[in-house]
Amino acid sequence: MQGENPNDKPMVKETGLGATLSDSLLLEQLGQGRSSRDGAFEEIFARYRHLVYGVLFRMTGDRDEAEELSQEVFLKLYTHRFRSGESHNLQGWLYRVATNLGFNSLRSRQRQRNRLDRLAHERPEHGSGSDPGVEVLRQEERDAVRQILATLPERQAACLTLRQMGLSYAEIAQAVGVSPGSVGTLLARAECTFKERYLSNDKEANYGMR
Amino acid sequence: MGCVDIGKLRAFCDGEVASGEAKQIETHVARCISCREQLDGVRKAGSFVAAKMNAIAPLPGEAPPGIEASLAAIRRREPRLATKTAEGNTARGLSRWIGGLVAGATFHWRASVAGLVAVAVVISLVALPPVRTIADDLLGIFRVQKFTQVTLDPGTLKNLPNFDPSKMGTFDGITREPSSSTVASPAEAAARLDFPLRLPQHLPAGVTNNPKLAVTDSFSVAYTFDLARATTYMASMGITGIDLPKSLNGQKISGTMPVHVIASYGEGVPGAAMALFQGRSPVVEIPDGVNLDEVFNAIYSLPGLPPELVVQLRAIDWRTTAPVPVLKGDTSRKLTVDGVEGLLVRNDIEKVTVLFWQKDGIVYVMAGDVADSDLVAAANSLK
């Protein structure tokens, strides 16, 4: 099965050698009887949970929420029935579900923030670092980045997040559901808009303070 | 070649176009002002956004909870998932552990980095879930020259509180995950290393000689311990009676993981998979004035640490020696490998063997689901 299609080749980042079973074999087992299914599920979980959590933390900025949504992703996997004969790409599937949940949370968080903003001038959350000034700045920067991500089209936000995680264009393409040739265009557009909005927010913020 | 569209230019910046095409783009851009300007814009926007995006990557204190805790939560939400036996967990733990170690911690790197820090090394060493975290650190304090085994029964670590080093100090100096990339050939890998790349000349039967080579660039992190916050944190965890290391207060400890490479053979092929990690030892720098005895005594007096583990940890010379956890059911032995003393750990359930050794300042970890003797023979054939 493996080797026929280069896209089938799993990028095993977490387990490397420890992963003696290929992703496609695990997926096959996931579709089988209960005991092999549960074993396969846990192996997949061990293999990919850091990737999934990584996506969700970046998008939500909240450990608890990232963890809860990660569980959601794997619960979806457990109940998802991959069509037999379908050329699955497990990693791409997981990234797709994760970025989708992450983006929804990012959006709804943004809506919430906008409501709050109208009610009161929001204070940035204080971190717990020894230098509160630095922590506040870091938190502000993180908030600003997520705020802008929320305004981008979902695919573009996903591209930026996955690229930051060091994924190749081929991997991003699988996760986002486009051809590898379109990733460059998506990234370039996303970066251009991101930069524009970030700089104009900065300007507004400075203007407002003075 | 005509003008280059923006998506191609973006891919060109990331080295994501075929080399022939890249040459064409280069030639064209050299002649075409508008493409040159556009390329410049794409580059600038790219690096601007990359810098901003790096800010939202998780910091060491922001890692997910332990795997068993996560799985338990998933099982609560999906009752159809059976609860596994403890034995099963141990076996899987080892597999993950070896994998994490050999895979060079691309995604475990934060845990590894935390492990670079003196305090965190031992805390994460004994934190739950035991096996995986420990093994994430193939790091010792200062510099790894040799490996020693630490026998561990994961069951005895259940009562250990889950410590979060970020509540006792500040991590800084990390802005991004280390970039790990697959390279096309040994020559390309060698060009990125500051030591000679060595690969096995004899592989175990059935293992195909077509290694996937992944190089991870050097990265580092620093941690500053804050006595006052640590005191508050310990109190909030209900832990009393520990003399926190006063000499560590406000001191910045830094750790560096130098450039390293992992060659994987036959990935995903049961019974014929093998991987080799090689790189200079991770280095931890601790400022003068820190009393290490004080630091270690504080760690060893943490509640929940099994006394038999403390005895073993106390015997380790952290400046030169990295602990390798050996679980109940594993076998381990010292042996001569690659002309030096090494350590071999075998898990019969997973049928995986791992070899650890250090030669000429380079740390090697080789693992395979092949026979011990075959793995040793492959290690002895490095060239």
**B236 and B257, same domain (yes or no):** yes
Give the model's pLDDT for residue A153: 94
| CB-CB neighbors (< 8 A) of A50 in chain B | 64, 107-108
Asked whether residue A64 is domain-assigned, the answer is yes
Among B34, B54, B74, where does a domain finish? B54
**B38 and B89, same domain (yes or no):** no
Give the model's pLDDT for residue A1: 33
Asked whether residue A1 is domain-assigned, the answer is no
- If one counts the domains in chain A, the total is 1
From A183, A185, A191, residue closest to B46, measured CB to CB? A191
Provide the 8-state DSSP code for A93.
H
Asked whether residue A196 is domain-assigned, the answer is yes
As a whole number of angstroms, the longest Cα–Cα distance in chain B is 74
The band of B106, judged by pLDDT with boundaries at 50, 70 and 90, is very low
Give the model's pLDDT for residue A86: 52
Torsion, Cα B191 B197 B202 B208, to 10 degrees, reads: -50
Compute the average pLDDT of residues B92-118. Answer: 33
**B230 and B279, same domain (yes or no):** yes
Name the minimum distance, in Å, from the CA of A179 to any CA of chain B: 12
Q: What is the tens place of the pLDDT at every residue in A170-197?
A: 989 989 999 999 999 999 999 999 999 9
- CA dist., res. A173 & res. A83, Å (int): 21
**B212 and B231, same domain (yes or no):** yes
- Which DSSP string do the residues of A18-46 spell out, in sequence order? G--S-HHHHHHHHTS-HHHHHHHHHHHHH
Candidate from B108-117, B140-149, B261-270 with smallest mean pLDDT: B108-117
E strand or H helix at B52: helix B33-54
Q: Which long-range contacts (CB under 8 A, 24 or more apart) does A107-116 make?
A: A107/A150, A109/A60, A109/A146, A109/A150, A110/A146, A110/A147, A110/A150, A110/A151, A113/A147
- CA dist., res. B362 & res. B261, Å (int): 11
The band of B87, judged by pLDDT with boundaries at 50, 70 and 90, is very low
Q: Which runs of consecutive H residues, i.e. helices, occur in chain A?
A: 23-30, 34-60, 63-79, 90-119, 132-151, 154-164, 169-176, 180-209
Q: Is 60 exceeded by the pLDDT of residue B375? A: yes
Instruction: Write out the two tokens for B321.
Output: 């020696």
DSSP-assigned beta bridge partners for residue B252: B224
From A22, A49, A195, residue closest to B268, measured CB to CB? A22
Determine the residue among B35, B74, B262 to mutate to test chain A binding: the one whose Cβ has the most chain A Cβ atoms within 10 Å: B74
**B174 and B242, same domain (yes or no):** yes
Compute the average pLDDT of residues B7-17. Answer: 92
What's CA B234's distance to the chain center, in Å? 27
* B280 in reach of chain A (CB within 8 A): no
Give the model's pLDDT for residue A100: 95
- CA dist., res. B108 & res. B354, Å (int): 18
User: B256: helix, coil or strand?
Assistant: strand
Compute the average pLDDT of residues B324-351. Answer: 82
**B81 and B157, same domain (yes or no):** yes
Q: Is 80 exceeded by the pLDDT of residue B115? A: no
| CB-CB neighbors (< 8 A) of B18 in chain A | none
Q: Please give the residue that has the higher pLDDT: either B240 or A150.
A: A150
**B15 and B35, same domain (yes or no):** yes
Asked whether residue A81 is domain-assigned, the answer is yes
Asked whether residue A41 is domain-assigned, the answer is yes
Four-residue CA torsion sign, B39, B43, B49, B54: positive
- CA dist., res. B99 & res. A16, Å (int): 5
CB contact under 8 A, B45 and A188: yes
**B24 and B101, same domain (yes or no):** no
Q: How far is CA B50 from CA A152, B54, B56, B91, B269, in A?
A: 16, 6, 10, 39, 36
Provide the 8-state DSSP code for B2.
-
**B150 and B277, same domain (yes or no):** yes
Q: Which residue of A has its CA nearest to B83?
A: A38
- If one counts the domains in chain B, the total is 2
Give residue A105's domain range.
6-209
**B116 and B172, same domain (yes or no):** yes
Spatial contact of A78 and B82, defined as CB atoms under 8 Å apart: no
Q: What is the tens place of the pLDDT at every residue in B268-316?
A: 566 777 888 888 877 777 777 777 778 888 878 877 777 887 888 888 7
Interhelix angle A34-60/B67-77, nearest 10 degrees:
110
Provide the 8-state DSSP code for B269.
-
Give the model's pLDDT for residue B121: 34
Spatial contact of B212 and B263, defined as CB atoms under 8 Å apart: yes
Average pLDDT, chain B: 74
Q: Is 70 exceeded by the pLDDT of residue B356? A: yes
Instruction: Write out the two tokens for B111.
Output: 């845990």
Q: Is 80 exceeded by the pLDDT of residue B98? A: no
Give the model's pLDDT for residue B176: 43
* B291 in reach of chain A (CB within 8 A): no
Asked whether residue A163 is domain-assigned, the answer is yes
Q: Is 90 exceeded by the pLDDT of residue B48? A: yes
**B107 and B73, same domain (yes or no):** yes
Give the model's pLDDT for residue A4: 33
Give the model's pLDDT for residue B297: 84
Compute the average pLDDT of residues B333-354. Answer: 84
Compute the average pLDDT of residues B245-266. Answer: 82
**B118 and B69, same domain (yes or no):** yes
Taking a contact as any Cβ pair under 8 Å apart, which residues of chain B between 87 and 126 contact chain A?
Answer: 88, 92, 95-100, 102-104, 106-108
CB contact under 8 A, A185 and B5: yes
**pLDDT exceeding 90 applies to what percent of chain B?**
23
- CA dist., res. B189 & res. B197, Å (int): 8
- Mean pLDDT by 10-residue block, N- to C-terminus, for chain A (210 residues)? 33 33 67 65 83 93 92 88 66 92 88 62 45 77 92 95 91 91 96 95 63
DSSP-assigned beta bridge partners for residue B365: B277, B356
| CB-CB neighbors (< 8 A) of A78 in chain B | 78, 80-81
Asked whether residue B1 is domain-assigned, the answer is no
Four-residue CA torsion sign, B373, B374, B379, B382: positive
Asked whether residue A33 is domain-assigned, the answer is yes
- CA dist., res. B370 & res. B354, Å (int): 10
Asked whether residue A141 is domain-assigned, the answer is yes
- HSE-up of residue A124 (Cα within 13 Å, Cβ side): 16
| CB-CB neighbors (< 8 A) of A141 in chain B | 52, 55
- CA dist., res. B267 & res. B292, Å (int): 41
Give residue B164's domain range.
60-380
Four-residue CA torsion sign, A137, A139, A144, A145: positive
Instruction: Write out the two tokens for B179.
Output: 């970039």
